[in-house]
Structure 1
Amino acid sequence: MLRFMPVGDSMTIGSAGEHTWRYRMWRHLRETYGGPFALVGPRETLYDKATDAPTSYEYADPAFPRAHLAGWGEGWLHMAPLIGEAVRSCRADVLLVSLGLIDLGFYTNAEQTAGNVREFVAEARAANPRVRMVVLPVVPNVRAESDAPFAAEVARFNELLAKAVADLDEPRSPLLLASPPPSYDIHLDTYDGTHPNASGEHRIAEAFAEAMYQAWDLGEPYAA
């Protein structure tokens, strides 16, 4: 069985009432992947905006494997110390990682964030030397439209992320940089300039799915 672990921030955990891109990915894999698979991770909940806590189970469709390692307001900085134990305990084979926006917005600059990417990869591989990882670049959010230094920091980090992926990729533990979600428009694919709505969820899932299909011949092209 191939075990996929979604790793991310608020765009990945999602909030009460949503499907999440994790659900869209599960649907895609169920229809296109030829073998048994699971979504795994140490957490299952959505974020509840009413209580400001990750305590909700109110998925739009709860009938899917909801496990993940994602948190509202968490980034590479927070996940690097957690990923080793999560990979080990959940026996993850493939990490689907969408992180970085929260780091750059509140915690670390591009260089520091890239350093945390490298720590994350090292910790994941220490837990499973054959783990595969697909990493999504940071998609600039609405803040980048009016905050030029922040937009520049996002662009700089994405350059450093591509370099880290190229440097750290190895045959027994492939590290894959996905292309940004195709035609992603923060005014159409999010509900607030940052967090994905239904169409945004499909586009994020598509970015991961297309990367795995093109690089590893895993599954098939994404059909929303």
Structure 2
Amino acid sequence: MRKTSGALAAFLALAAVVMYLTTTPAGAAAIRIMPLGDSITGSPGCWRALLWNKLQSTGYTDIDFVGTLPPQGCGVAHDGDNEGHGGYLATNVANQNLLPGWLSATRPDVVMMHFGTNDVWSNIPPATILGAFTTLVNQMRASNPAMKILVAKIIPMNPSSCADCGQRAVTFNNAIPAWAASTSTAQSPVTVVDQWTGFSTATDTYDGVHPNAAGDQKMSDKWYPALVNALSGVTPTPTVTPTVTPTVTPTTGAGCTATYRNAGQWQGGFQGEVTVKNTGTTPISAWTVRWTFANGQQVTQIWGGTLSASGANVTVRNESWNGSLAPGASTTFGFLGSYSGTNTAPSPTCS
């Protein structure tokens, strides 16, 4: 806002107070919003682009969509940072303790979570999925005690390879409201956003699971009022300027290992995870993992690392936020891959 004087300054100050519920005062920290989920959120999750632009056009300009994953297309200008990990199960994210690292890297004030589709597809009981949700909520509150949490009833499912998924989704969705009511607190409310009602797998998806353009619009329209309501009660977390730490170049006692795990496999595709651990006695400031696929596999999506590949040879380097590891510390990156026929596990090395 430009500096003014006298009556004009007083008028503008009054106007800023009146507009507070729809815009954050200039100079305040932006409210950070994490879209969290699986491929419906992140691959490419074009409902996020629609929602971002609707927020901008209605005066909610001091917001920041956050996540460790970058934009994934859509052809629409928007803030595309997100935490929508294709192929992920909410139960795996909870069991493998993945969320705390994402939270510490992005420090959200609000989380929008559409999660559980892959768990339902895997026939995991609703109580188990909601137990994982509770773990995730507790981790969110450990990151920010005043976290505002929006949890979706997932959109309907009718994949050709899972005849029972439609009813499983209904059963899971029906269990969410009671769980949310028991988990919500005054300081950190859990709000249920009904993405299921009014959504048709026949007209709003392209494969019975993932939204098409019509489905993206419906999802954006459902998120918008709930998110606006959450924004009105959020005090942004102050932006902290990170301390500049000199690059550490170990000369002795340095070392790291990379351990591969197949986290899931289906016809023609699989999900891999690699844990990088500092096995030395001095800190490391960066790491590089390499392996060679034996059967022509290809990485199609990666998170938690920067990929370069040449034929069967794969190289993954750390992101800016997970390169520094103290002795004994570890970090994990994951990827989705494709294969044909045989899927021999790679043997990664770390340097």
User: Relative to 1, partners in 2 of residues 1:215 and 1:36: Cα closer, same or farther, differing over 3 Å?
Assistant: closer
Deviation at 1:151, TM superposition (A): 3.5
Cα contact 2:66–2:81 (8 A) shared by 1: yes
Change (3 A) 1:25 1:215: same
Name the counterpart of 2:79: 65
Alignment correspondent of 1:4? 33
Q: Where in structure 2 are the equivalents of 1:169-188 lying within 5 Å?
A: 169-180=184-195, 183-188=198-203
Counterparts of 1:30-179 in structure 2 under 5 Å?
30-46=56-72, 59-61=73-75, 63-80=77-94, 81-106=97-122, 108-143=124-159, 147-148=163-164, 150-179=165-194
Task: Give the aligned partner of residue 56 of structure 1.
Answer: none
Q: CA deviation at 1:144?
A: 9.0
Alignment-derived partner of residue 29 in structure 1: 55
1:10-63: CA deviation from partner (whole Å, max 9, x where unpaired): 111124xxx7111111111111244511110111153xxxxxxxxxxxx13263
AA at the equivalent of 2:226: A
Secondary structure of the equivalent of 2:64?
strand
Q: Looking at both structures, which has the greater relative contact order when contacts are Cα pairs under 8 Å and sequence separation is at least 6?
A: 1
Assess, with a 3 A threshold, how the Cα gap between structure 1 residues 160 and 92 changes in structure 2: closer, same or farther.
Answer: same
- 1:154 Cα deviation from its structure 2 partner: 2.1
Given residue 155 of structure 1, which amino acid in structure 2 is its aligned partner?
V
Change (3 A) 1:151 1:62: closer
Displacement, 1:212?
3.0
TM-score norm. by structure 2 comes to 0.53
- CA deviations 1:96-124 (Å, max 9, x no partner) are 11011101112622111111011111111
TM-aligned CA distance change 1:42 to 1:193, over 3 Å = same
> Post-superposition shift, 1:195?
0.8
Q: Distance in 2 between matches of 1:28 and 1:13?
A: 18
Structure 2 gap ranges (5+): 1-29, 234-351
Give the superposition deviation at 1:72: 1.2
- Preserved CA contact (<8 Å) 1:133 1:174: yes
Q: TM-score, normalised by structure 1?
A: 0.81
Alpha carbons 1:182, 1:203 under 8 Å: kept: no
Q: Structure 1 residues 89 and 181 mapped into 2: Cα distance closer, same or farther (>3 Å)?
A: same
Q: In the TM superposition, what is the alpha-carbon distance from 1:216 to its structure 2 partner?
A: 6.4
Q: Which runs of 5+ in 1 are unaligned?
A: 47-58, 219-224
TM-aligned CA deviation for residue 213 of structure 1: 4.0
Distance 1:85 1:207 in 2: 28
The separation in 2 between residues aligned to 1:146 and 1:9, in whole angstroms, is: 18
How far apart are residue 215 of structure 1 and its match?
6.7
Deviates more, 1:28-37 or 1:92-101: 28-37
Query: Between the two proteins, what is the percent identity of the paired residues?
Result: 24
Which structure features the higher share of helix residues? 1
Q: 1:203 aligns with which of 215, 218, 224?
A: 218
1:67-88, Cα deviation, whole Å (9 max, x unpaired): 1111111121233322222222
Counterpart residue identity of residue 67, structure 1: D
SS of residue in 2 equivalent to 1:38: strand
How much has 1:6 moved relative to structure 2?
0.5
Any conservation in 1 of the 2:49–2:74 contact (CA below 8 Å)? no
Q: How many residue pairs align between the two structures?
A: 202
Greater percentage in strand:
2
What is the letter of the counterpart of residue 21 of structure 1?
W
Q: Residues of 2 paired with 1:136 and 1:124: CA distance?
A: 16
